[in-house]
Structure 1
């Protein structure tokens, strides 16, 4: 079905266009030689790393008969591909150990990303990257889970929590295992407030279980699809890897009708529409009639246009998130007036960054509320997070 939504792809560099051409390329299909002749290969490599698609790029290129790509580019991709494979194997082993640890202590645990998702979407853990492990547990088990992790060799990443900031702004806590060089995030929500999302019990009842040497619990297909869509949308889709994940699910035959009730319940139709426009335009993912319905209206198109800008910028998240354009995008992403109001209120809730900017005695912490706008302006002028 024709899926033209008239995104302005002229905003994208030839290097990004070539990345897209490669990760959407079919077996035995030649690459666009016109693109290849006008490529800054060092920038191409930077983009492949930034967008976390270098394993797929390498995997595709070594199976093509393309001779015009410089050898050093292939060699660099090969080295990074090997490093990523070892990293994913390392995380796979830790994933099974953690699953056994939590299961033995009767703490239900769901893995959100990592090797289990790479295997599910790509059939090969070496084709997707992951810098850490993300797990979801009931909020009532947080303290017990932390005790387990500390005894298991993990250390909680130093965070200054101001005025119960984690409850209102956060949705996960980060732990580091220095000996294993592994980062772990424990989530008690899928996304930060004020987003609507399924409760843990709903996710648990619909979970899938891996066939690995020790069983791994992970999200059911419909919940995983909406989680990946919402996560990508919340970050402005600034990494192409997230869009490729959606493309993989759709290409494997994911039936979007099965997620209709969830989309309506958790108000994510506009984000799904945005994702569908982006994958159809950038990765040429075919959309059926049910998918096309979700792309109708001005909001999905407007959100897709905004994401295109973030995709081309190649900015670190902490810099991107501080821009007016990104904050306005997040505001537009909220599906209801209530969520927009809560989002606006939370912008004025003090954060740990305010403590780093100006340390006040604990009895005076309430002053961070009126001071927050001024401290934020000061950080922008000083160009600090």
Structure 2
């Protein structure tokens, strides 16, 4: 084991620092003493952060049943109600996973569960201890049309159609969402783990290394542990780790039996060594996650620590990049952060991708299929035309 990493977290709200302390403490007496140490807690903000970071199930489990008067009763009651709602939600999602899995199996479609109740069962051993907003399922890109038809037959509605005219969707995007209007369940169907310029193992390789979930008595599969680690760190980094829940997942997964040699090969092959190190540093600094000797190659140089410190911005400002209106300064920071976590090769590919035509180019200048090759040399001019037109409309 290695020493704990330290980051500058002085600007993180005191309420969040208390939450982090509560999460990592295992002894009830230490928990009471820790809460006593924190003065002038804004308990309304404490609850707001608990909900924002989707960490309230763990907080409730930690605080429930402890006999002391340090925490207002309404705080515990609010956590209890949220805990109950989440438990019912997870049970509903578990039932839906089994239903969808059965439909897919009957139609010879292989499916891997990425997160949701399966992840909660694997990492926490309890459905109720992790929150989940939707179901993320990975299928082969060759089965997408079949999956689309099956979900529509089950009453799901596609949230947004993908423009497939230029065939760029296969690599620019990585999932499509469906919602069931009656069940109020959202399913995201993935055909790759990460959007461009991120990469990842092919579906066949992931399927070969799959594990069977204990969530269901019927065959229900999810990612192998090393593939799951790669997915979790790439997902967390892409979102700036703005939810503590994702770091708690990292804290839980490193406690499992990981083949670190194979994992490091995976991270290196798919260019996720920097974000793997970022995740380890953040988990160590915020959750006292022990750094295993085998993982120390992730921490060579200063890049991992630099990326980890940059992610603290999201915790200092309680950022949610999923909201429709993000302040410009936050939006600009997030764009810079996304670029910073890319390797040199990924940055080059990202910049070059702007030369590849977008569906909006087809809307700007419709051309028949035989002439669509012209979109490549015309793209800079079409982009300039749209900018000029937009500028003219603003002036008017």
Match of 1:136 in 2: 138
Residue 167 of structure 1: CA displacement? 3.1
Match of 2:112 in 1: 110
Change (3 A) 1:308 1:141: same
Change (3 A) 1:373 1:19: farther
Offset from partner CA, 1:248-285 (integer Å, 9 cap, x none):
11234545344122122212111111111001100011
Match of 1:123 in 2: 125
Which of 240, 258, 267 is equivalent to 1:263? 267
Match of 2:13 in 1: 13
Match of 2:276 in 1: 272
Which of 197, 202, 221 is equivalent to 1:199? 202
Structure 2: 5+ residue stretches without partners: 369-374
Q: Secondary structure at the match of 1:8?
A: coil
Which of 155, 160, 170 is equivalent to 1:167? 170
Change (3 A) 1:45 1:27: same
Distance 1:283 1:309 in 2: 17
Which of 40, 43, 46 is equivalent to 1:41? 43
Distance 1:271 1:340 in 2: 14
Match of 1:325 in 2: 333
Change (3 A) 1:347 1:360: closer
Offset from partner CA, 1:84-114 (integer Å, 9 cap, x none):
0000000000000111111110011101011
1:296 aligns with 2:304: no
Residue 42 of structure 1: CA displacement? 0.8
Q: Is the 8 A contact 1:348 1:369 kept in 2?
A: no
TM-score by length of 2: 0.86
Which of 233, 237, 240 is equivalent to 1:236? 240
Q: Is the 8 A contact 1:247 1:279 kept in 2?
A: yes
Total equivalences in the alignment: 374
Structure 1: 5+ residue stretches without partners: none
Which of 297, 308, 315 is equivalent to 1:311? 315
Match of 1:151 in 2: 153
Residue 162 of structure 1: CA displacement? 7.8
Q: Secondary structure at the match of 2:281?
A: helix
Residue 36 of structure 1: CA displacement? 3.5
Distance 1:255 1:124 in 2: 24
Distance 1:376 1:84 in 2: 45
1:370 aligns with 2:381: no
Match of 1:343 in 2: 350
Match of 1:227 in 2: 231
Offset from partner CA, 1:329-366 (integer Å, 9 cap, x none):
1112112x3310222344687878x79xxx85756996
Q: Secondary structure at the match of 1:323?
A: helix
TM-score by length of 1: 0.89
Distance 2:184 2:273 in 1: 38
Change (3 A) 1:198 1:332: same
Residue 324 of structure 1: CA displacement? 2.1
Q: Secondary structure at the match of 2:10?
A: helix
Q: Is the 8 A contact 2:206 2:223 kept in 1?
A: yes
Q: Is the 8 A contact 2:4 2:288 kept in 1?
A: no
Rg (Cα) greater in structure: 2
